[in-house]
Structure 1
């Protein structure tokens, strides 16, 4: 057994320490309370912090959320660094090792593949270039933040003072000591954010892998176009000038199957920090004052990310006691531990939210590589090479050679080299985040913005990851802006891996200009909704953003709910929160009637009766929801497991809603036939009947034969799992850091998007990672909730105190009652 077997995030212990750990369990249990309390932050009284120019006051409410007040911006960000470190330094330290490709320094040889993948892409190398490009003011804020983190480190030199995780790590790696924090550590984190929100990279690989078993036209059947006729895009009027992309279909090149498989394995090796793949999305919408009870806008946001313990978000407020050009911040919202400023939130004039725009910002180029050269336009060019040394706890350093073409690093070589075969032998990744940019500048400009023009100016700097930005201000204006560096391809639409040797698919030098990206302000309908749906109909827009949108089930449900609420009366903050909690399954109205037409006998017929009057709501106590989702899971398996390689099989979600909807109208389509049954040709009704029977059998085994006693919440559960030790395989260690499981409503592509992976089961793998409703009539009435809590310290009262409220859809006031006061003095 390897010392640590990496899954997305966790760390496993080696057999050589199991005996020691088990022997220490009793001792650990006895001293854990003493140890963890040593790392709890001081939240009252006074502390001397070198580097401050004046006093800083930090108020915390019952949830432990800090509101920081200072006279100078440098003091404000120094204090933010200190507070982040107080609550979340282990998380920060772990993240910077992820982004630098240095996990093996902490956890040993088992994380080598993770480090190789990151080093091959060179996240930190790009961040070094970005740091030099940032404006002087931003670099000053980053420096101040780093000083605050390091002053906390100096004041807490022992592992037991920093976090329980360090005490546990010491059992495996006694020599580890965290380094001082640097501005580069903060900037590099933005690469992780960009990676996890990178759009359709996996779709490109899945298409190519599926094409190894299916003809191209059948693969394209699995990627239907966006249903503009029934699901509205974000921007619905106007045109934007710009060159139209070349839509000519390319013949599938030499497959390079092995290289693509290796590339997929390399991408799987990259530790997920926000979560990636199916389930990652977000909702945001804004309603103008003409439709609200207060006469001023309301704005809602809930990003959908992988669940983690602690939550990826950290709530905070940053307040200049007197605003001026030198100290221009009065902002409250959600930050990332390790990064100064606020990512999503509100200041005293505006509020803003993010959802993933998901443009196609990466391409996989199949390359022909021979020795140290690669083919390009008929000539063999020299590969660019560099060496990366990876230090390994408990072992010898490992050196890798990273090879790069003009298109990017050869990502398949993370696993092992491919022998030349005369076709594609390598895969290069071209990705916008591997070009240095100024996203860090954008964060502070967003925080300072006081009107639409300043907001747009800040958005123009937000290059990766490209996000849908929604906006509202106290003057009554609402708006939407699509920012980001989005490439212009010489040829093709970015949906398939392309041959690099022809040069025909190269990116043009300049991306889509910012002034050609979609935007709208004060639309006549009085609201704007984004939920990873299509931004704009390509019939009205020239440049290519992507063809791989979410298919609009969440966005259309939000639009429909807003229409209903506006017809009934004025929208309130409570209305916005209620829509965030909507659990309706948008595909039920299509699939349930089809199921009802199939002749069915036996106990599964009784289960199907549950669906007769079901409205599609997926509440935790719902028996129909439990059965419907089980049928959906078994239907996907019955339809596609025989036709697709494992990596390309459906995990669920609204793309598969559209695929299956089309197949329901074609009862003899080849996908209905199970190619594993020789001499038998299955049709639609055969597969639907078997899915209902298999679903009944599974739930009867798990939940009992009384179909009316089934509960969706007995299947659809969330375990808050620590990103490092949460899946150690050692029960007592997991008990220290994990919390749950607990039932949660909703489902993938419900508005309340607690997603699950149909390939694996019903357990939740993506969540609304936070929720926010900003009230521009009185910003002190704005509300928020986090998935877990403010603290990263196990057993601290604020470690997961928001989780129960989150599961119930309840929220806390952003302006919480002050219960603690800490003064930092120079």
Structure 2
């Protein structure tokens, strides 16, 4: 026995030693790719030395003799901090993820090859102006300088992820940056999912009930539409489950399309006598964040703000003279067409002039640990043909047809990058507006403020539709009918502009901004009907605004949806129940109603009421729609306040949703509200406990910053994923969009990845923040150091003063031209 014990002890010690040694080796290999910010590097491609000053938050301040040298320095800095993220974005746009991830990502690669975004980006390089091309070349050279340092200096393959996915890294090209822009256009677009969902719902709902479930934003100008079966004969209802989207899929779906807030105050509405601007773009939360902070010292002056790794543009930020912010415009810049295939010759499809041949090309997708896959790419006059699995188009595709896509982003003369570069060099609102006219996609609302003026405009190419378009762009239509085809795009000068409005304020929360009849409208789908109400209240609640009042509005967590819906849904439940003993469902319901009766709608992480309200509204919508839609209710993962309001106000007979069709009794809306509250309380008790007063919204509503690749890997997920208790919800200005599915549907997964407030009374008192940290390296202290500030609603200074950047610098990198190196 003693001998056995000795051997077991020795084996245990040996295993522990091996484990420690293995962990130490893994740590050493991963740490090799941590950049040294206090270094001098000899590089090719510079005209003069470049200095990259990293301030205390690891924000690079790049100084150089020419603009090209500055963009070189930005490429070098972004590659140091976010190389893996940049490579992943590029591979996604190229349709080459399967080379490293295998068959898992084949659906993504097929879609990207069909869209051909990378080829379009390559051809768009020549469409840029001369300055833009020089900037792209210089930025690419900077990225490649760091890649050379990785290869020659044993820098741990550039990122820890590269040890797990050891593929060779091709040099960065100007087209790679333009491809990232096109990828953003895909990520922010909600229209294709909306068309598919509306088409599916129209096959099982009467038109007036479809108007309840997928309501238009309030306002006139929308005509009644036919059902999808009338538009595309042969379409049949489908209750098949849509395939879940991979975390790497470049479009997360309709509930998670791009969103943002941006607003500005003119001189007359500013306490300081100078303009103010605030912006917080909303995107999926990831670790690291998609945004990266940077300052560039250009010949036109310094600019500072948020960039996206791989893209040498300040997308939201300021110079000494001009501030700019962006929100997703929700412009309807996309149409789906059902293209009839010739039954006698499948290589042809129907056009207004008869049968025409598809334009085709084969594309080979290399797949890790599997044979390569060859796919046939097809194009019609309307655009590329997509597969039935792409965006679940197969669920609405009639027999004998394929589905094609018209989309403004499918341009090979896309000057969006040139527009962004000119915006960075603009000195006033007029120059900013002129720069925006070059933008093609993704369409945005651009908010501008110089020292004296403010403006907002919708930028991006707007398609011209025929007044007789059969679905008004809201559902797929037959592609051969002339009235369903685009007639080109509008001149950029015709895009809406709001310049120095009389009220002294401009702003957008993805809300409807234009009330015009089709086809002069911008969209029928808008990203917000609720946050705009709170914004209007906060802006008009004081005559003069300051940087602090703008920060307060950005961080506001009062839900206008909660304040509207609770009095409607619970109006006949409060104070009407009979006394009930503890431990009964009736008593639990009374406790919940008592808490909600005293609540002001603030979605505070420390309160129980937000969780009770959210669970109640979630259960209520489920009860209202499940019996009518069956499995088709599954895509409706998030409560729609306008739908609930229509039902409980009985607008156009919408209260009929409260009656359960399969039951003999006629249920009232009060019955359904009470039953839904009981459903919610049971669900809460099973997952969080029955003590309602001890619940915390933040325990359920954690911000989930997941690593896109390693976030689902056991053990590694503990190192790369970030979790934070957060306030807010889907409808607060401090937007924190919930997951909507799974065991914890209240996870915060889509929120402000960047916040900035720019004050032109004292520009250096402007502030900004991102949702994680500057570094994409999990072992860096800058991986998550800004995330806690972000969670608490704090910011860091946004200064263009070089002395302030140097005063607390964490390192200064000097890039020296090869020819002049000592």
The answer on 1:219 being equivalent to 2:197 is no
**Conserved 8 A contact 2:777-2:783:** yes
Shift of residue 649, structure 1, vs aligned partner: 4.2
Aligned counterpart in structure 2 of residue 590 of structure 1, from 557, 561, 564: 564
Shift of residue 377, structure 1, vs aligned partner: 3.1
**Conserved 8 A contact 2:193-2:253:** no
CA deviation profile, 1:87-128 (whole Å, cap 9, x unmatched): 011110111000000001111122111100110111112112
Aligned counterpart in structure 2 of residue 797 of structure 1, from 772, 776, 781: 781
Aligned to 1:79: 73
Shift of residue 458, structure 1, vs aligned partner: 0.7
The answer on 1:758 being equivalent to 2:758 is no
Aligned to 2:582: none
Which stretch shows the higher mean deviation, 136-145 or 156-165? 156-165
CA deviation profile, 1:547-591 (whole Å, cap 9, x unmatched): 11134311221121011132xxx3221111111111111122232
Secondary structure of 1:468's counterpart equals strand
In structure 2, how many angstroms separate the alpha carbons of the residues matched to 1:756 and 1:193?
21
The answer on 1:281 being equivalent to 2:259 is yes
Aligned to 1:807: 791
In structure 1, how many angstroms separate the alpha carbons of the residues matched to 2:527 and 2:20?
49
Aligned to 1:431: 407
Secondary structure of 2:314's counterpart equals coil
Aligned counterpart in structure 2 of residue 735 of structure 1, from 718, 722, 727: 718
**Conserved 8 A contact 1:769-1:787:** yes
In structure 2, how many angstroms separate the alpha carbons of the residues matched to 1:454 and 1:275?
35
Larger radius of gyration: 2
Which 5+ residue runs of structure 2 have no aligned equivalent?
1-15, 578-585, 818-822
The answer on 1:390 being equivalent to 2:365 is yes
In structure 2, how many angstroms separate the alpha carbons of the residues matched to 1:364 and 1:421?
10
The answer on 1:669 being equivalent to 2:655 is yes
Shift of residue 423, structure 1, vs aligned partner: 5.0
Which stretch shows the higher mean deviation, 392-401 or 598-607? 598-607
The answer on 1:331 being equivalent to 2:303 is yes
Aligned to 1:304: 282
In structure 2, how many angstroms separate the alpha carbons of the residues matched to 1:471 and 1:270?
34
In structure 1, how many angstroms separate the alpha carbons of the residues matched to 2:149 and 2:353?
61
The answer on 1:457 being equivalent to 2:434 is yes
In structure 1, how many angstroms separate the alpha carbons of the residues matched to 2:96 and 2:552?
43
Aligned counterpart in structure 2 of residue 548 of structure 1, from 515, 525, 531: 525
Aligned counterpart in structure 2 of residue 105 of structure 1, from 99, 103, 108: 99
**Conserved 8 A contact 2:212-2:654:** no
Shift of residue 515, structure 1, vs aligned partner: 1.8
Secondary structure of 1:295's counterpart equals coil
In structure 1, how many angstroms separate the alpha carbons of the residues matched to 2:590 and 2:795?
41
TM-score, normalised to structure 2's length?
0.89
CA deviation profile, 1:343-400 (whole Å, cap 9, x unmatched): 1111121000000111101111112213111122372221221111111122221100
Aligned counterpart in structure 2 of residue 341 of structure 1, from 313, 318, 327: 313
Shift of residue 799, structure 1, vs aligned partner: 0.2
Aligned to 1:169: 165
The answer on 1:824 being equivalent to 2:807 is no
TM-score, normalised to structure 1's length?
0.88
**Conserved 8 A contact 2:202-2:227:** no
**Conserved 8 A contact 2:43-2:816:** yes
Shift of residue 426, structure 1, vs aligned partner: 1.8
CA deviation profile, 1:772-817 (whole Å, cap 9, x unmatched): 0011112211100100010011120100111111111111101264
In structure 2, how many angstroms separate the alpha carbons of the residues matched to 1:417 and 1:319?
47
In structure 2, how many angstroms separate the alpha carbons of the residues matched to 1:262 and 1:407?
28
Cα 1:56–1:563 change in 2 (3 A) is same
Cα 1:282–1:793 change in 2 (3 A) is same
The answer on 1:377 being equivalent to 2:352 is yes
Aligned to 1:745: 727
The answer on 1:690 being equivalent to 2:675 is yes
Shift of residue 699, structure 1, vs aligned partner: 1.4
Aligned to 1:399: 374
Aligned to 1:188: 179
Cα 1:26–1:432 change in 2 (3 A) is farther
1:569-580 aligned at under 5 Å gives the runs: 570-580=544-554
**Conserved 8 A contact 1:245-1:543:** no
Aligned to 2:330: 358
The answer on 1:557 being equivalent to 2:534 is yes
Which stretch shows the higher mean deviation, 776-785 or 30-39? 30-39
Aligned counterpart in structure 2 of residue 720 of structure 1, from 698, 705, 720: 705
In structure 2, how many angstroms separate the alpha carbons of the residues matched to 1:670 and 1:765?
34
Cα 1:255–1:162 change in 2 (3 A) is farther
**Conserved 8 A contact 1:142-1:183:** yes
Secondary structure of 1:587's counterpart equals helix
In structure 1, how many angstroms separate the alpha carbons of the residues matched to 2:20 and 2:410?
48
Which stretch shows the higher mean deviation, 662-671 or 553-562? 662-671
Aligned to 1:447: 424
1:588-667 aligned at under 5 Å gives the runs: 588-593=562-567, 594-598=569-573, 600=577, 601-644=586-629, 646=631, 649=634, 651=636, 656-666=640-650
Aligned to 2:491: 513
Secondary structure of 2:313's counterpart equals coil
Cα 1:787–1:270 change in 2 (3 A) is closer
In structure 2, how many angstroms separate the alpha carbons of the residues matched to 1:750 and 1:110?
36
Aligned counterpart in structure 1 of residue 24 of structure 2, from 4, 22, 30: 30
**Conserved 8 A contact 2:233-2:398:** no
In structure 2, how many angstroms separate the alpha carbons of the residues matched to 1:314 and 1:419?
38
In structure 2, how many angstroms separate the alpha carbons of the residues matched to 1:624 and 1:739?
25
**Conserved 8 A contact 1:159-1:167:** no
**Conserved 8 A contact 1:255-1:424:** no
In structure 1, how many angstroms separate the alpha carbons of the residues matched to 2:605 and 2:241?
39
Aligned to 2:47: 53
Secondary structure of 2:171's counterpart equals coil
Secondary structure of 2:135's counterpart equals helix
Cα 1:261–1:678 change in 2 (3 A) is closer
Shift of residue 499, structure 1, vs aligned partner: 1.4
Shift of residue 271, structure 1, vs aligned partner: 3.8
Cα 1:195–1:421 change in 2 (3 A) is closer
Alpha-carbon RMSD across the aligned residues, in angstroms, is 2.8
Secondary structure of 1:333's counterpart equals strand
Aligned to 1:536: 514
Shift of residue 260, structure 1, vs aligned partner: 9.1
CA deviation profile, 1:460-492 (whole Å, cap 9, x unmatched): 011101100111112x11111111101111133
Cα 1:424–1:783 change in 2 (3 A) is farther
Aligned to 2:456: 480
Aligned to 1:5: none
CA deviation profile, 1:396-447 (whole Å, cap 9, x unmatched): 2110001222112221355799899985622111111112211011111011
In structure 2, how many angstroms separate the alpha carbons of the residues matched to 1:716 and 1:318?
37
In structure 1, how many angstroms separate the alpha carbons of the residues matched to 2:55 and 2:398?
65
In structure 1, how many angstroms separate the alpha carbons of the residues matched to 2:397 and 2:374?
27
Cα 1:50–1:419 change in 2 (3 A) is closer
**Conserved 8 A contact 2:330-2:443:** yes
Which 5+ residue runs of structure 1 have no aligned equivalent?
1-21, 171-175, 230-243
CA deviation profile, 1:662-721 (whole Å, cap 9, x unmatched): 10023883322334x443443312211111101111112222222111111111112211
Shift of residue 759, structure 1, vs aligned partner: 4.0
**Conserved 8 A contact 2:561-2:731:** no
Aligned counterpart in structure 1 of residue 200 of structure 2, from 196, 200, 209: 209
In structure 2, how many angstroms separate the alpha carbons of the residues matched to 1:426 and 1:256?
13
**Conserved 8 A contact 2:649-2:655:** no
Aligned to 1:496: 475
**Conserved 8 A contact 2:200-2:237:** no
Cα 1:606–1:487 change in 2 (3 A) is same
In structure 1, how many angstroms separate the alpha carbons of the residues matched to 2:393 and 2:197?
21
1:139-154 aligned at under 5 Å gives the runs: 139-154=133-148
